[in-house]
Structure 1
Protein backbone atom coordinates (compact mmCIF):
# COMPACT_ATOMS: atom_id res chain seq x y z
CA UNK A 1 0.00 0.00 0.00
CA UNK A 2 2.89 2.29 0.81
CA UNK A 3 4.38 1.98 -2.68
CA UNK A 4 1.08 2.66 -4.45
CA UNK A 5 0.98 6.25 -3.23
CA UNK A 6 3.99 7.26 -5.36
CA UNK A 7 2.30 6.68 -8.74
CA UNK A 8 -0.77 8.44 -7.32
CA UNK A 9 1.29 11.51 -6.32
CA UNK A 10 3.23 11.44 -9.59
CA UNK A 11 -0.05 11.43 -11.51
CA UNK A 12 -1.03 14.73 -9.93
CA UNK A 13 2.42 16.26 -10.52
CA UNK A 14 2.82 15.39 -14.21
CA UNK A 15 0.50 18.07 -15.62
CA UNK A 16 1.78 20.97 -13.41
CA UNK A 17 5.40 20.03 -14.15
CA UNK A 18 4.74 19.84 -17.90
CA UNK A 19 2.96 23.20 -17.86
CA UNK A 20 5.83 24.74 -15.88
CA UNK A 21 8.41 23.40 -18.33
CA UNK A 22 6.46 24.56 -21.38
CA UNK A 23 5.46 28.03 -20.18
CA UNK A 24 8.39 28.93 -17.86
CA UNK A 25 11.54 26.88 -18.47
CA UNK A 26 11.25 26.69 -22.26
CA UNK A 27 10.87 30.49 -22.77
CA UNK A 28 13.97 30.99 -20.60
CA UNK A 29 15.91 28.55 -22.77
CA UNK A 30 14.61 30.23 -25.94
CA UNK A 31 15.68 33.63 -24.63
CA UNK A 32 19.18 32.33 -23.93
CA UNK A 33 19.33 30.85 -27.42
CA UNK A 34 18.20 34.10 -29.06
CA UNK A 35 20.80 36.02 -27.04
CA UNK A 36 23.51 34.18 -28.99
CA UNK A 37 22.17 35.46 -32.32
CA UNK A 38 21.67 38.75 -34.18
CA UNK A 39 17.88 38.22 -34.34
CA UNK A 40 16.05 41.45 -35.21
CA UNK A 41 12.65 40.29 -33.96
CA UNK A 42 10.98 41.08 -37.29
CA UNK A 43 11.70 37.77 -39.00
CA UNK A 44 12.93 34.27 -38.26
CA UNK A 45 16.19 34.94 -40.04
CA UNK A 46 19.10 35.08 -37.62
CA UNK A 47 22.80 34.28 -37.42
CA UNK A 48 24.78 32.79 -34.59
CA UNK A 49 27.13 35.38 -33.06
CA UNK A 50 28.17 33.57 -29.89
CA UNK A 51 28.88 35.83 -26.93
CA UNK A 52 29.16 38.98 -29.03
CA UNK A 53 25.97 40.45 -27.56
CA UNK A 54 27.29 39.96 -24.04
CA UNK A 55 30.65 41.59 -24.80
CA UNK A 56 28.84 44.57 -26.34
CA UNK A 57 26.56 44.75 -23.35
CA UNK A 58 29.28 45.41 -20.80
CA UNK A 59 30.78 48.08 -23.03
CA UNK A 60 27.43 49.84 -23.44
CA UNK A 61 27.51 52.97 -21.26
CA UNK A 62 23.70 53.29 -21.30
CA UNK A 63 23.25 49.75 -19.99
CA UNK A 64 25.92 50.29 -17.34
CA UNK A 65 24.20 53.51 -16.28
CA UNK A 66 20.88 51.67 -16.08
CA UNK A 67 22.58 48.95 -14.01
CA UNK A 68 23.84 51.60 -11.59
CA UNK A 69 20.29 52.89 -11.19
CA UNK A 70 19.02 49.39 -10.43
CA UNK A 71 21.78 48.95 -7.86
CA UNK A 72 20.76 52.25 -6.25
CA UNK A 73 17.18 51.01 -6.05
CA UNK A 74 18.40 47.68 -4.71
CA UNK A 75 20.19 49.42 -1.85
CA UNK A 76 17.54 51.93 -0.81
CA UNK A 77 14.18 50.35 -1.73
CA UNK A 78 14.32 47.29 0.59
CA UNK A 79 15.97 49.15 3.48
CA UNK A 80 13.60 52.13 3.58
CA UNK A 81 10.44 50.12 2.85
CA UNK A 82 11.16 47.46 5.45
CA UNK A 83 12.17 49.96 8.14
CA UNK A 84 9.04 52.06 7.62
CA UNK A 85 6.77 49.00 7.47
CA UNK A 86 8.32 47.53 10.63
CA UNK A 87 8.01 50.82 12.50
CA UNK A 88 4.36 51.33 11.54
CA UNK A 89 3.46 47.68 12.19
CA UNK A 90 5.08 47.86 15.63
CA UNK A 91 3.26 51.06 16.55
CA UNK A 92 -0.09 49.78 15.28
CA UNK A 93 0.16 46.47 17.15
CA UNK A 94 2.16 46.93 20.35
CA UNK A 95 3.30 50.56 20.34
CA UNK A 96 0.41 51.85 22.46
CA UNK A 97 0.96 49.57 25.44
CA UNK A 98 1.03 51.01 28.90
CA UNK A 99 -0.83 51.25 32.17
CA UNK A 100 -3.24 48.46 33.00
CA UNK A 101 -4.36 47.91 29.41
CA UNK A 102 -1.45 45.62 28.58
CA UNK A 103 -0.17 45.25 25.05
CA UNK A 104 -2.11 47.12 22.37
CA UNK A 105 -1.60 49.34 19.36
CA UNK A 106 -1.80 53.11 19.29
CA UNK A 107 -5.25 54.68 19.40
CA UNK A 108 -7.00 54.41 16.05
CA UNK A 109 -4.68 51.63 14.83
CA UNK A 110 -7.48 49.88 12.88
CA UNK A 111 -8.13 53.08 10.91
CA UNK A 112 -4.43 53.64 10.27
CA UNK A 113 -4.06 50.12 8.87
CA UNK A 114 -6.72 50.89 6.27
CA UNK A 115 -5.06 54.21 5.41
CA UNK A 116 -1.59 52.67 5.00
CA UNK A 117 -2.93 49.75 2.94
CA UNK A 118 -4.97 52.02 0.66
CA UNK A 119 -2.22 52.47 -2.01
CA UNK A 120 -2.31 48.71 -2.59
CA UNK A 121 -5.83 48.88 -4.03
CA UNK A 122 -4.76 51.47 -6.61
CA UNK A 123 -3.79 50.26 -10.06
CA UNK A 124 -0.48 51.29 -11.60
CA UNK A 125 -2.36 53.55 -14.02
CA UNK A 126 -3.92 55.46 -11.13
CA UNK A 127 -0.54 55.72 -9.41
CA UNK A 128 0.98 57.19 -12.54
CA UNK A 129 -1.78 59.81 -12.95
CA UNK A 130 -1.60 60.65 -9.26
CA UNK A 131 2.15 61.20 -9.17
CA UNK A 132 2.23 63.02 -12.48
CA UNK A 133 0.13 65.61 -10.66
CA UNK A 134 2.39 65.45 -7.59
CA UNK A 135 5.57 65.95 -9.64
CA UNK A 136 4.25 68.56 -12.08
CA UNK A 137 7.00 70.99 -13.00
CA UNK A 138 4.94 74.13 -12.41
CA UNK A 139 3.21 75.82 -9.51
CA UNK A 140 0.14 73.59 -9.96
CA UNK A 141 2.08 70.48 -8.91
CA UNK A 142 1.52 69.32 -5.34
CA UNK A 143 5.15 69.42 -4.25
CA UNK A 144 5.94 72.69 -6.00
CA UNK A 145 2.71 74.20 -4.67
CA UNK A 146 3.64 73.28 -1.10
CA UNK A 147 7.16 74.67 -1.48
CA UNK A 148 5.82 77.91 -2.96
CA UNK A 149 3.22 78.31 -0.20
CA UNK A 150 5.96 77.83 2.40
CA UNK A 151 8.12 80.38 0.58
CA UNK A 152 10.82 77.75 0.07
CA UNK A 153 10.72 77.98 -3.71
CA UNK A 154 10.61 80.82 -6.21
CA UNK A 155 7.26 80.65 -8.09
CA UNK A 156 9.01 81.68 -11.30
CA UNK A 157 11.47 78.76 -11.09
CA UNK A 158 9.66 75.63 -9.86
CA UNK A 159 11.53 72.37 -9.40
CA UNK A 160 11.65 70.08 -12.45
CA UNK A 161 11.20 66.89 -10.42
CA UNK A 162 11.09 64.34 -13.26
CA UNK A 163 13.26 66.35 -15.63
CA UNK A 164 16.14 66.82 -13.21
CA UNK A 165 19.00 64.29 -13.65
CA UNK A 166 19.71 64.45 -9.92
CA UNK A 167 16.11 63.97 -8.77
CA UNK A 168 14.36 61.64 -11.19
CA UNK A 169 15.46 58.31 -9.66
CA UNK A 170 14.72 59.53 -6.14
CA UNK A 171 11.24 60.56 -7.29
CA UNK A 172 10.62 57.07 -8.68
CA UNK A 173 11.95 55.54 -5.47
CA UNK A 174 9.55 57.67 -3.45
CA UNK A 175 6.57 56.47 -5.49
CA UNK A 176 7.50 52.81 -5.03
CA UNK A 177 8.05 53.21 -1.29
CA UNK A 178 4.73 55.04 -0.88
CA UNK A 179 2.93 52.31 -2.81
CA UNK A 180 4.67 49.36 -1.12
CA UNK A 181 4.89 50.18 2.58
CA UNK A 182 1.23 49.30 3.20
CA UNK A 183 1.59 45.76 1.88
CA UNK A 184 4.60 44.97 4.05
CA UNK A 185 2.95 46.65 7.01
CA UNK A 186 0.11 44.13 6.71
CA UNK A 187 2.63 41.30 6.27
CA UNK A 188 4.54 42.29 9.40
CA UNK A 189 1.34 42.95 11.34
CA UNK A 190 0.09 39.44 10.59
CA UNK A 191 3.40 37.97 11.76
CA UNK A 192 3.39 40.19 14.86
CA UNK A 193 -0.13 39.17 15.82
CA UNK A 194 0.95 35.51 15.81
CA UNK A 195 3.49 36.28 18.55
CA UNK A 196 2.00 35.40 21.98
CA UNK A 197 1.06 38.51 23.94
CA UNK A 198 2.72 36.95 26.99
CA UNK A 199 6.12 37.69 25.47
CA UNK A 200 5.36 41.39 25.11
CA UNK A 201 3.75 41.54 28.55
CA UNK A 202 6.83 39.92 30.08
CA UNK A 203 9.02 42.54 28.40
CA UNK A 204 6.66 45.24 29.73
CA UNK A 205 6.92 43.88 33.28
CA UNK A 206 10.71 43.78 32.99
CA UNK A 207 10.70 47.48 32.23
CA UNK A 208 11.65 47.27 28.54
CA UNK A 209 10.94 50.42 26.55
CA UNK A 210 9.56 50.55 23.03
CA UNK A 211 13.05 50.63 21.47
CA UNK A 212 14.26 47.65 23.49
CA UNK A 213 11.07 45.72 22.78
CA UNK A 214 11.41 46.36 19.07
CA UNK A 215 15.05 45.27 18.72
CA UNK A 216 15.14 42.54 21.38
CA UNK A 217 11.70 40.97 20.91
CA UNK A 218 9.87 42.03 17.74
CA UNK A 219 12.66 42.02 15.16
CA UNK A 220 14.13 38.59 16.08
CA UNK A 221 10.67 36.99 16.07
CA UNK A 222 9.76 38.55 12.70
CA UNK A 223 13.05 37.79 11.00
CA UNK A 224 11.58 35.18 8.61
CA UNK A 225 9.03 37.73 7.37
CA UNK A 226 11.74 40.38 7.01
CA UNK A 227 13.85 37.96 4.98
CA UNK A 228 10.92 37.22 2.65
CA UNK A 229 10.17 40.93 2.22
CA UNK A 230 13.83 41.62 1.43
CA UNK A 231 13.83 39.09 -1.43
CA UNK A 232 10.58 40.40 -2.93
CA UNK A 233 11.79 43.99 -2.76
CA UNK A 234 15.14 43.05 -4.29
CA UNK A 235 13.29 41.49 -7.23
CA UNK A 236 11.12 44.62 -7.55
CA UNK A 237 14.24 46.81 -7.57
CA UNK A 238 15.77 44.76 -10.38
CA UNK A 239 12.60 45.19 -12.45
CA UNK A 240 11.08 48.66 -11.93
CA UNK A 241 9.89 48.76 -15.54
CA UNK A 242 6.40 50.20 -15.23
CA UNK A 243 7.11 53.32 -13.18
CA UNK A 244 10.34 54.14 -15.01
CA UNK A 245 8.74 53.71 -18.44
CA UNK A 246 5.67 55.90 -17.86
CA UNK A 247 6.83 58.56 -15.39
CA UNK A 248 10.22 59.47 -16.84
CA UNK A 249 10.42 61.64 -19.99
CA UNK A 250 11.41 60.04 -23.28
CA UNK A 251 10.04 59.15 -26.70
CA UNK A 252 9.64 55.43 -25.98
CA UNK A 253 9.65 53.70 -22.59
CA UNK A 254 10.93 56.80 -20.81
CA UNK A 255 14.48 56.72 -19.50
CA UNK A 256 15.07 60.47 -19.55
CA UNK A 257 16.38 62.97 -19.00
CA UNK A 258 19.56 61.90 -20.79
CA UNK A 259 19.25 58.29 -19.51
CA UNK A 260 19.19 59.40 -15.85
CA UNK A 261 15.82 57.71 -15.44
CA UNK A 262 16.89 54.54 -17.25
CA UNK A 263 16.70 51.07 -15.70
CA UNK A 264 17.72 47.81 -17.30
CA UNK A 265 14.14 46.77 -18.09
CA UNK A 266 13.30 49.98 -19.98
CA UNK A 267 16.53 49.79 -21.99
CA UNK A 268 15.76 46.15 -22.81
CA UNK A 269 12.28 46.97 -24.12
CA UNK A 270 13.59 49.90 -26.17
CA UNK A 271 16.13 47.66 -27.88
CA UNK A 272 13.58 44.91 -28.41
CA UNK A 273 10.64 46.92 -29.76
CA UNK A 274 12.13 50.21 -31.02
CA UNK A 275 15.68 49.54 -32.20
CA UNK A 276 15.03 46.05 -33.60
CA UNK A 277 17.91 44.52 -31.61
CA UNK A 278 16.02 41.56 -30.20
CA UNK A 279 19.04 39.30 -29.77
CA UNK A 280 20.82 42.07 -27.90
CA UNK A 281 17.72 42.61 -25.74
CA UNK A 282 17.56 38.88 -24.98
CA UNK A 283 21.15 39.07 -23.74
CA UNK A 284 20.05 41.84 -21.36
CA UNK A 285 17.19 39.65 -20.19
CA UNK A 286 19.57 36.79 -19.42
CA UNK A 287 21.87 39.14 -17.49
CA UNK A 288 18.93 40.53 -15.49
CA UNK A 289 17.74 37.00 -14.73
CA UNK A 290 21.09 35.83 -13.39
CA UNK A 291 21.70 39.06 -11.47
CA UNK A 292 18.29 38.69 -9.80
CA UNK A 293 18.92 35.05 -8.91
CA UNK A 294 22.38 35.79 -7.53
CA UNK A 295 21.20 38.78 -5.49
CA UNK A 296 18.24 36.82 -4.11
CA UNK A 297 20.54 33.97 -3.08
CA UNK A 298 22.95 36.43 -1.44
CA UNK A 299 20.09 38.14 0.40
CA UNK A 300 18.84 34.80 1.73
CA UNK A 301 22.35 33.77 2.72
CA UNK A 302 23.32 37.01 4.44
CA UNK A 303 20.03 37.30 6.33
CA UNK A 304 20.01 33.65 7.44
CA UNK A 305 19.62 33.30 11.19
CA UNK A 306 18.61 30.56 13.60
CA UNK A 307 14.86 30.44 13.86
CA UNK A 308 13.42 31.37 17.25
CA UNK A 309 10.66 29.07 18.44
CA UNK A 310 7.92 30.32 20.76
Structure 2
Protein backbone atom coordinates (compact mmCIF):
# COMPACT_ATOMS: atom_id res chain seq x y z
CA UNK A 1 0.00 0.00 0.00
CA UNK A 2 2.81 2.38 0.95
CA UNK A 3 4.70 1.71 -2.30
CA UNK A 4 1.54 2.23 -4.35
CA UNK A 5 0.93 5.54 -2.59
CA UNK A 6 4.51 6.68 -3.26
CA UNK A 7 4.18 5.65 -6.91
CA UNK A 8 0.98 7.69 -7.23
CA UNK A 9 2.63 10.73 -5.69
CA UNK A 10 5.60 10.36 -8.03
CA UNK A 11 3.34 10.12 -11.11
CA UNK A 12 1.32 13.12 -9.95
CA UNK A 13 4.49 15.20 -9.38
CA UNK A 14 5.89 14.12 -12.74
CA UNK A 15 2.69 14.90 -14.70
CA UNK A 16 1.52 18.01 -12.87
CA UNK A 17 3.67 20.50 -14.82
CA UNK A 18 3.04 19.18 -18.38
CA UNK A 19 -0.70 18.70 -17.74
CA UNK A 20 -0.95 22.23 -16.34
CA UNK A 21 0.88 23.66 -19.36
CA UNK A 22 -1.38 21.67 -21.70
CA UNK A 23 -4.50 22.95 -19.97
CA UNK A 24 -3.30 26.56 -20.05
CA UNK A 25 -1.88 26.72 -23.57
CA UNK A 26 -4.04 24.18 -25.46
CA UNK A 27 -7.37 23.53 -23.75
CA UNK A 28 -7.87 27.09 -22.47
CA UNK A 29 -7.65 28.72 -25.95
CA UNK A 30 -10.20 26.19 -27.24
CA UNK A 31 -12.60 27.03 -24.42
CA UNK A 32 -12.11 30.77 -25.03
CA UNK A 33 -12.75 30.30 -28.77
CA UNK A 34 -16.03 28.49 -28.03
CA UNK A 35 -17.08 31.37 -25.76
CA UNK A 36 -16.04 34.12 -28.20
CA UNK A 37 -17.97 32.31 -30.95
CA UNK A 38 -21.16 33.10 -29.03
CA UNK A 39 -20.43 36.83 -28.73
CA UNK A 40 -20.25 39.84 -31.05
CA UNK A 41 -16.69 40.65 -29.93
CA UNK A 42 -14.79 42.89 -32.37
CA UNK A 43 -11.41 42.59 -30.68
CA UNK A 44 -11.51 45.82 -28.67
CA UNK A 45 -14.41 45.77 -26.19
CA UNK A 46 -13.69 44.34 -22.75
CA UNK A 47 -17.25 43.07 -22.29
CA UNK A 48 -18.59 41.69 -25.59
CA UNK A 49 -22.32 41.10 -25.89
CA UNK A 50 -23.42 37.48 -25.66
CA UNK A 51 -25.42 36.57 -28.78
CA UNK A 52 -25.80 32.82 -28.33
CA UNK A 53 -25.93 30.88 -31.58
CA UNK A 54 -26.53 33.92 -33.81
CA UNK A 55 -23.06 33.69 -35.37
CA UNK A 56 -23.66 30.06 -36.32
CA UNK A 57 -27.08 30.83 -37.83
CA UNK A 58 -25.53 33.64 -39.86
CA UNK A 59 -22.61 31.42 -40.85
CA UNK A 60 -24.77 28.66 -42.33
CA UNK A 61 -26.56 31.22 -44.53
CA UNK A 62 -23.27 32.74 -45.75
CA UNK A 63 -22.57 31.86 -49.40
CA UNK A 64 -18.83 32.55 -49.08
CA UNK A 65 -18.64 30.15 -46.15
CA UNK A 66 -20.20 27.40 -48.27
CA UNK A 67 -17.75 28.13 -51.08
CA UNK A 68 -14.90 27.71 -48.61
CA UNK A 69 -16.40 24.46 -47.26
CA UNK A 70 -16.81 23.13 -50.82
CA UNK A 71 -13.15 23.83 -51.60
CA UNK A 72 -11.99 22.23 -48.34
CA UNK A 73 -14.10 19.14 -49.00
CA UNK A 74 -12.76 18.88 -52.56
CA UNK A 75 -9.21 19.08 -51.18
CA UNK A 76 -10.16 16.55 -48.50
CA UNK A 77 -10.99 14.00 -51.20
CA UNK A 78 -8.45 14.85 -53.90
CA UNK A 79 -5.31 15.76 -51.95
CA UNK A 80 -4.98 12.54 -49.88
CA UNK A 81 -6.09 10.31 -52.75
CA UNK A 82 -3.78 11.76 -55.40
CA UNK A 83 -0.83 12.24 -53.05
CA UNK A 84 -0.97 8.68 -51.74
CA UNK A 85 -1.42 7.14 -55.21
CA UNK A 86 1.49 9.11 -56.71
CA UNK A 87 3.74 8.61 -53.67
CA UNK A 88 3.03 4.87 -53.53
CA UNK A 89 3.84 4.55 -57.23
CA UNK A 90 7.21 6.26 -56.87
CA UNK A 91 8.05 4.55 -53.57
CA UNK A 92 7.30 1.12 -55.06
CA UNK A 93 9.37 1.99 -58.13
CA UNK A 94 12.30 3.19 -56.05
CA UNK A 95 12.30 0.21 -53.69
CA UNK A 96 10.89 -2.80 -55.52
CA UNK A 97 10.18 -2.23 -59.17
CA UNK A 98 13.46 -2.28 -61.05
CA UNK A 99 12.34 -5.09 -63.39
CA UNK A 100 15.38 -7.26 -62.51
CA UNK A 101 14.30 -9.18 -59.46
CA UNK A 102 13.41 -7.46 -56.20
CA UNK A 103 15.10 -4.12 -55.67
CA UNK A 104 14.81 -0.43 -56.39
CA UNK A 105 15.93 1.45 -59.46
CA UNK A 106 19.54 2.59 -59.75
CA UNK A 107 20.18 5.79 -57.81
CA UNK A 108 17.07 5.37 -55.64
CA UNK A 109 18.71 7.06 -52.63
CA UNK A 110 19.49 10.13 -54.72
CA UNK A 111 15.92 10.25 -56.06
CA UNK A 112 14.50 10.13 -52.53
CA UNK A 113 16.51 13.23 -51.63
CA UNK A 114 15.34 15.02 -54.80
CA UNK A 115 11.71 14.10 -54.12
CA UNK A 116 12.02 15.45 -50.57
CA UNK A 117 13.36 18.88 -51.63
CA UNK A 118 9.92 20.58 -52.10
CA UNK A 119 8.90 19.60 -48.57
CA UNK A 120 11.90 21.43 -47.13
CA UNK A 121 10.75 24.77 -48.56
CA UNK A 122 8.50 26.96 -46.41
CA UNK A 123 4.91 27.14 -47.63
CA UNK A 124 5.15 30.91 -48.17
CA UNK A 125 8.28 30.42 -50.30
CA UNK A 126 6.48 27.80 -52.41
CA UNK A 127 3.52 30.17 -52.87
CA UNK A 128 5.73 33.05 -54.05
CA UNK A 129 7.69 30.69 -56.31
CA UNK A 130 4.56 29.45 -58.05
CA UNK A 131 3.20 32.97 -58.40
CA UNK A 132 6.10 33.47 -60.79
CA UNK A 133 5.63 30.07 -62.44
CA UNK A 134 1.97 30.88 -63.12
CA UNK A 135 2.50 34.48 -64.30
CA UNK A 136 0.00 35.28 -67.08
CA UNK A 137 2.59 36.94 -69.34
CA UNK A 138 5.62 35.82 -71.34
CA UNK A 139 7.86 35.74 -68.26
CA UNK A 140 5.83 32.93 -66.71
CA UNK A 141 7.52 29.52 -66.78
CA UNK A 142 4.38 27.90 -68.20
CA UNK A 143 2.83 30.71 -70.20
CA UNK A 144 6.14 31.79 -71.74
CA UNK A 145 6.52 28.63 -73.89
CA UNK A 146 2.79 28.67 -74.70
CA UNK A 147 2.96 32.24 -75.96
CA UNK A 148 6.15 31.46 -77.90
CA UNK A 149 4.17 28.76 -79.71
CA UNK A 150 1.40 31.22 -80.51
CA UNK A 151 -1.08 29.94 -77.92
CA UNK A 152 -3.08 32.18 -75.63
CA UNK A 153 -1.78 32.45 -72.05
CA UNK A 154 -3.66 30.51 -69.38
CA UNK A 155 -4.90 32.39 -66.33
CA UNK A 156 -3.65 29.83 -63.82
CA UNK A 157 -4.40 32.14 -60.89
CA UNK A 158 -6.74 34.65 -62.55
CA UNK A 159 -9.28 32.32 -64.15
CA UNK A 160 -11.90 31.16 -61.58
CA UNK A 161 -12.25 27.84 -63.43
CA UNK A 162 -8.52 27.10 -63.28
CA UNK A 163 -7.25 28.71 -60.05
CA UNK A 164 -8.43 25.98 -57.67
CA UNK A 165 -6.74 23.27 -59.74
CA UNK A 166 -3.53 25.31 -59.79
CA UNK A 167 -3.57 25.46 -55.99
CA UNK A 168 -4.22 21.71 -55.78
CA UNK A 169 -1.30 21.06 -58.15
CA UNK A 170 1.08 23.09 -56.01
CA UNK A 171 -0.04 21.30 -52.84
CA UNK A 172 0.55 17.95 -54.55
CA UNK A 173 3.99 19.08 -55.75
CA UNK A 174 5.01 19.93 -52.20
CA UNK A 175 3.39 16.98 -50.41
CA UNK A 176 4.28 13.99 -52.61
CA UNK A 177 8.01 13.94 -51.81
CA UNK A 178 7.52 13.55 -48.06
CA UNK A 179 5.19 10.59 -48.53
CA UNK A 180 7.54 8.98 -51.06
CA UNK A 181 10.16 8.96 -48.31
CA UNK A 182 7.61 7.78 -45.70
CA UNK A 183 6.39 4.90 -47.86
CA UNK A 184 9.98 4.04 -48.82
CA UNK A 185 10.80 3.67 -45.14
CA UNK A 186 7.76 1.40 -44.74
CA UNK A 187 8.79 -0.70 -47.74
CA UNK A 188 12.35 -0.98 -46.43
CA UNK A 189 10.99 -2.57 -43.23
CA UNK A 190 9.19 -5.34 -45.17
CA UNK A 191 11.36 -8.48 -45.43
CA UNK A 192 12.68 -9.01 -48.96
CA UNK A 193 11.68 -12.67 -48.62
CA UNK A 194 8.03 -11.74 -49.07
CA UNK A 195 8.62 -10.03 -52.40
CA UNK A 196 10.92 -12.84 -53.56
CA UNK A 197 8.35 -15.49 -52.59
CA UNK A 198 5.64 -13.62 -54.47
CA UNK A 199 7.91 -13.37 -57.50
CA UNK A 200 8.69 -17.11 -57.38
CA UNK A 201 4.94 -17.79 -57.27
CA UNK A 202 4.60 -15.90 -60.52
CA UNK A 203 3.26 -12.59 -59.22
CA UNK A 204 3.76 -9.66 -61.59
CA UNK A 205 4.50 -6.10 -60.53
CA UNK A 206 0.84 -5.11 -60.27
CA UNK A 207 -0.10 -8.26 -58.37
CA UNK A 208 2.89 -7.83 -56.03
CA UNK A 209 1.88 -4.25 -55.36
CA UNK A 210 -1.78 -5.09 -54.63
CA UNK A 211 -1.29 -8.35 -52.71
CA UNK A 212 1.96 -7.67 -50.84
CA UNK A 213 2.79 -3.97 -50.68
CA UNK A 214 -0.64 -2.48 -49.89
CA UNK A 215 -1.60 -4.88 -47.05
CA UNK A 216 1.79 -4.54 -45.36
CA UNK A 217 1.84 -0.75 -45.73
CA UNK A 218 -1.77 -0.25 -44.64
CA UNK A 219 -0.96 1.29 -41.23
CA UNK A 220 1.41 3.79 -42.86
CA UNK A 221 -1.18 4.64 -45.53
CA UNK A 222 -3.80 5.15 -42.82
CA UNK A 223 -1.57 7.65 -40.99
CA UNK A 224 -0.76 9.42 -44.28
CA UNK A 225 -4.47 9.71 -45.12
CA UNK A 226 -5.27 11.31 -41.75
CA UNK A 227 -2.38 13.80 -41.93
CA UNK A 228 -3.20 14.77 -45.52
CA UNK A 229 -6.86 15.18 -44.62
CA UNK A 230 -5.98 17.51 -41.76
CA UNK A 231 -3.70 19.43 -44.15
CA UNK A 232 -6.59 19.76 -46.62
CA UNK A 233 -8.91 21.11 -43.92
CA UNK A 234 -6.35 23.45 -42.33
CA UNK A 235 -4.74 24.79 -45.53
CA UNK A 236 -4.18 28.54 -45.33
CA UNK A 237 -0.78 30.00 -46.20
CA UNK A 238 -0.49 28.69 -49.74
CA UNK A 239 -3.96 30.03 -50.63
CA UNK A 240 -3.50 33.35 -48.86
CA UNK A 241 -0.08 34.12 -50.34
CA UNK A 242 -0.38 32.66 -53.83
CA UNK A 243 -3.87 33.55 -54.98
CA UNK A 244 -5.37 36.81 -56.15
CA UNK A 245 -7.45 38.62 -53.48
CA UNK A 246 -6.32 36.00 -50.89
CA UNK A 247 -8.66 33.26 -52.03
CA UNK A 248 -9.79 34.65 -55.38
CA UNK A 249 -10.57 35.40 -58.00
CA UNK A 250 -14.23 35.70 -56.94
CA UNK A 251 -13.55 33.43 -53.94
CA UNK A 252 -12.82 30.52 -56.31
CA UNK A 253 -9.94 29.26 -54.13
CA UNK A 254 -10.96 30.44 -50.67
CA UNK A 255 -10.91 27.98 -47.77
CA UNK A 256 -12.22 28.04 -44.20
CA UNK A 257 -8.91 29.13 -42.66
CA UNK A 258 -8.69 32.07 -45.09
CA UNK A 259 -12.21 33.18 -44.17
CA UNK A 260 -11.35 32.96 -40.47
CA UNK A 261 -8.36 35.25 -41.01
CA UNK A 262 -10.29 37.62 -43.27
CA UNK A 263 -13.18 38.03 -40.84
CA UNK A 264 -10.93 38.41 -37.80
CA UNK A 265 -8.20 40.73 -39.08
CA UNK A 266 -9.80 42.50 -42.06
CA UNK A 267 -13.38 42.98 -40.84
CA UNK A 268 -12.65 42.70 -37.07
CA UNK A 269 -15.52 40.26 -36.56
CA UNK A 270 -13.75 38.08 -34.02
CA UNK A 271 -16.95 36.46 -32.76
CA UNK A 272 -17.94 35.39 -36.27
CA UNK A 273 -14.37 34.25 -37.04
CA UNK A 274 -14.37 32.13 -33.87
CA UNK A 275 -17.64 30.51 -34.97
CA UNK A 276 -15.91 29.60 -38.24
CA UNK A 277 -13.02 28.19 -36.23
CA UNK A 278 -15.35 26.07 -34.09
CA UNK A 279 -16.97 24.61 -37.21
CA UNK A 280 -13.55 23.84 -38.70
CA UNK A 281 -12.51 22.22 -35.41
CA UNK A 282 -15.47 19.81 -35.55
CA UNK A 283 -14.85 19.11 -39.24
CA UNK A 284 -11.24 18.15 -38.46
CA UNK A 285 -12.05 16.03 -35.41
CA UNK A 286 -14.92 14.34 -37.24
CA UNK A 287 -12.76 13.54 -40.25
CA UNK A 288 -9.99 12.07 -38.10
CA UNK A 289 -12.33 9.83 -36.10
CA UNK A 290 -14.24 8.71 -39.20
CA UNK A 291 -11.04 7.95 -41.13
CA UNK A 292 -9.52 5.90 -38.32
CA UNK A 293 -12.73 3.90 -37.88
CA UNK A 294 -13.36 3.24 -41.57
CA UNK A 295 -9.77 2.27 -42.31
CA UNK A 296 -9.38 0.03 -39.26
CA UNK A 297 -8.39 -3.52 -40.14
CA UNK A 298 -6.55 -6.44 -38.60
CA UNK A 299 -2.85 -5.76 -38.25
CA UNK A 300 -0.58 -8.01 -40.31
CA UNK A 301 2.47 -9.22 -38.41
CA UNK A 302 5.71 -10.00 -40.27
What is the TM-score normalised by the length of structure 1?
0.94
Post-superposition CA distance 1:45-93 (Å, at most 9, x none): 3101000000000000000111101011111000000111111111101
Match of 1:70 among 43, 48, 72: 72
**Stretch moving more, 46-55 or 102-111:** 102-111
2:269 pairs with 1:255: no
Q: CA deviation at 1:209?
A: 0.8
Structure 1 Cα separation of the partners of residues 136 and 158 of structure 2: 8
Match of 1:287 among 272, 279, 282: 279
Q: CA deviation at 1:42?
A: 2.1
- Map 1:136-285 to 2 at 5 A: 136-149=135-148, 151=149, 154=151, 157-250=152-245, 254-285=246-277
Q: Is the 8 A contact 1:84 1:181 kept in 2?
A: yes
Q: CA deviation at 1:13?
A: 1.3
Structure 2 Cα separation of the partners of residues 242 and 271 of structure 1: 16
Post-superposition CA distance 1:110-133 (Å, at most 9, x none): 111111011122122321221111
Post-superposition CA distance 1:192-216 (Å, at most 9, x none): 1111111111111111111011110
Size of the aligned set, in residue pairs, is 300
Q: CA deviation at 1:3?
A: 5.1
Structure 2 Cα separation of the partners of residues 291 and 70 of structure 1: 10
Residue segments in structure 1 that go unaligned for 5+ positions in a row: none
Q: Is the 8 A contact 1:42 1:276 kept in 2?
A: no
Structure 2 Cα separation of the partners of residues 232 and 80 of structure 1: 14
Aligned residue number for residue 120 of structure 1: 119
CA RMSD across the alignment = 1.3
Post-superposition CA distance 1:116-162 (Å, at most 9, x none): 0111221223212211111101121111123345x3x62xx311110
Residue segments in structure 2 that go unaligned for 5+ positions in a row: none
Q: CA deviation at 1:14?
A: 1.3
Q: Secondary structure at the match of 1:304?
A: coil
Structure 2 Cα separation of the partners of residues 246 and 45 of structure 1: 34
Q: Secondary structure at the match of 1:4?
A: helix
